[in-house]
């Protein structure tokens, strides 16, 4: 075989794989490309910083635990003074691929989302002013802000910008399914392949598509049959005020779905088997056989990728100028 022929075969192979990927409704998740490492490190520190809360105990990681697939594994999160949160905590993993943030899409991007919980009395229970004052009181933080942003000013815009830049790195590449899309047909099981075909044939891909296998659109929960829940969330209606948007939520990502239980906006379902059958029933008006359910679940488990490998940051110490935490009344 000539060298030219070998090159031609290689090019044809790459073209074939690219064409195959392009024809699929799900796209491969790529590893994060870090261009601002210092800002990423600052954002990581702030993500794990419990002093951004009134109690000095709750951080971003409390509800988006990076050891638990970016969630807290609770039906609804626990907030300031042990208050029950109103909705299930969505994963922070691959959140950059979402068209908006929060279940109701009220935040346009990760930066806007990061600001919300800090001054929510049911979540971190602080104010933006107090949060800024807390961070600005510690020289170890101020030095980093000056090096990254060009001045020692600490403000909520810079705090949330750094957190968002860190969160953008929290992607999960190299799942078995991604390897399958890239041409390794042995990367997933026969049942997972059958499950993926079912996923397409039954219409799941009409909502769950793209790199994150979701997050690209809004959809009513209970499209064909009502979804019965005691959860008070009304979805997009709370943002738009339109009755037509009642119970319309952002379609969640299915990446790492085996890790991000319990499921749905109310966190009412704990197993993938029940979640699959519920969605088939209320969204598609279809019944799944036991075999189909197993195949679909096997496919969904193949979407679990490499989890972010995080070294916990060492945070600057408080001092006499740092506001004291108030964990109890």
In this predicted structure, what is the pLDDT of residue 15? Answer: 41
Condensed to tens digits (0 to 9), the pLDDT of residues 91-101 reads 999 999 999 99
Q: What is the mean pLDDT of residues 247-258?
A: 98
Q: pLDDT category, 221, cuts 50, 70, 90?
A: very high
Is 123 annotated as catalytic? Answer: yes
CA dihedral 220, 222, 228, 231 (to 10 degrees): -10
In this predicted structure, what is the pLDDT of residue 329? Answer: 80
In this predicted structure, what is the pLDDT of residue 21? Answer: 61
Judged against a pLDDT cut of 70, whether residue 16 lies above it is answered with no
Give the percent of the chain with pLDDT over 90.
93
| DSSP state string for 241-282 | --GGGTTEEEPPP-TTGGGSPSBTTTT-B--HHHHHHHHHHH
Element (H, E) at 220: strand 218-220
Using alpha carbons, list the distances in angstroms from residue 47 to 125, 159, 170, 312: 16, 10, 12, 10
Using alpha carbons, list the distances in angstroms from residue 166 to 47, 82, 115, 163, 291: 8, 27, 14, 5, 41
CB 90 within 8 A of CB 117: no
Using alpha carbons, list the distances in angstroms from residue 231 to 58, 69, 76, 234, 288: 23, 23, 10, 9, 26
In this predicted structure, what is the pLDDT of residue 22? Answer: 64
- Cross-strand partners of 65: 71
As a residue count, the chain comes to 329
What 3-state DSSP class applies to 26?
Answer: strand
- Tokens representing 130 are 């107090």
Query: Of 113, 136, 115, 125, which is closest to residue 58 (Cα–Cα)?
Result: 125
Query: Of 291, 300, 70, 281, which is closest to residue 208 (Cα–Cα)?
Result: 300
Of the listed 123, 143, 182, 292, which one is catalytic? Answer: 123
In this predicted structure, what is the pLDDT of residue 44? Answer: 98
Judged against a pLDDT cut of 50, whether residue 17 lies above it is answered with no
What 3-state DSSP class applies to 107?
Answer: strand
């Amino acid at each position: 075989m000539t060298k030219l022929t070998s090159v031609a075969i290689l090019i044809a192979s790459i073209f074939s794989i690219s064409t195959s990927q392009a024809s699929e409704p799900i796209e491969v998740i790529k590893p994060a490309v870090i261009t601002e490492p210092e800002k990423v490190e600052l954002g990581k520190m702030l993500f794990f910083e419990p002093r951004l809360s009134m109690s000095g105990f709750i951080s971003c990681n409390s509800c988006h635990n990076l050891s638990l697939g970016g969630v807290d594994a609770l039906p609804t999160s626990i907030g300031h003074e042990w208050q029950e949160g109103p909705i299930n905590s969505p994963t922070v993993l691959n959140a950059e691929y979402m068209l908006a943030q929060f279940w109701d899409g009220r935040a346009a991007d990760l930066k806007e989302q990061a600001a919300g919980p800090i001054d929510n009395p049911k979540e971190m229970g602080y104010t933006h002013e107090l949060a800024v004052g807390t961070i600005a009181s510690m020289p170890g933080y101020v030095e980093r802000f000056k090096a990254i942003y060009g001045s020692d000013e600490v403000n909520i815009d810079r705090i949330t910008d750094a957190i968002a830049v860190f969160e953008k790195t929290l992607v999960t590449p190299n799942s078995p399914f991604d390897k399958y899309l890239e041409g390794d047909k042995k990367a997933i099981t026969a049942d997972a392949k059958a499950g993926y075909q079912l996923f397409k044939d039954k219409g799941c891909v009409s909502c769950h598509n793209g790199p994150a296998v979701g997050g690209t659109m809004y959809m009513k929960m209970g499209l064909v049959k009502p979804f019965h829940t005691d959860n008070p969330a009304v979805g997009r209606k709370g943002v738009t005020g339109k009755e037509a948007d009642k119970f319309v939520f952002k379609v969640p990502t299915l990446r790492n779905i085996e890790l991000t239980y319990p499921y749905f906006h109310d966190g009412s379902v704990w197993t993938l088997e029940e979640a699959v059958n519920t969605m088939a029933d209320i969204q598609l008006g279809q019944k799944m056989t036991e075999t189909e359910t197993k195949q679909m679940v096997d496919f969904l488990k193949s979407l679990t990728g490499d989890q972010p490998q995080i070294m916990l940051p060492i945070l600057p110490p408080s001092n006499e100028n740092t506001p004291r935490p108030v964990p109890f009344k």
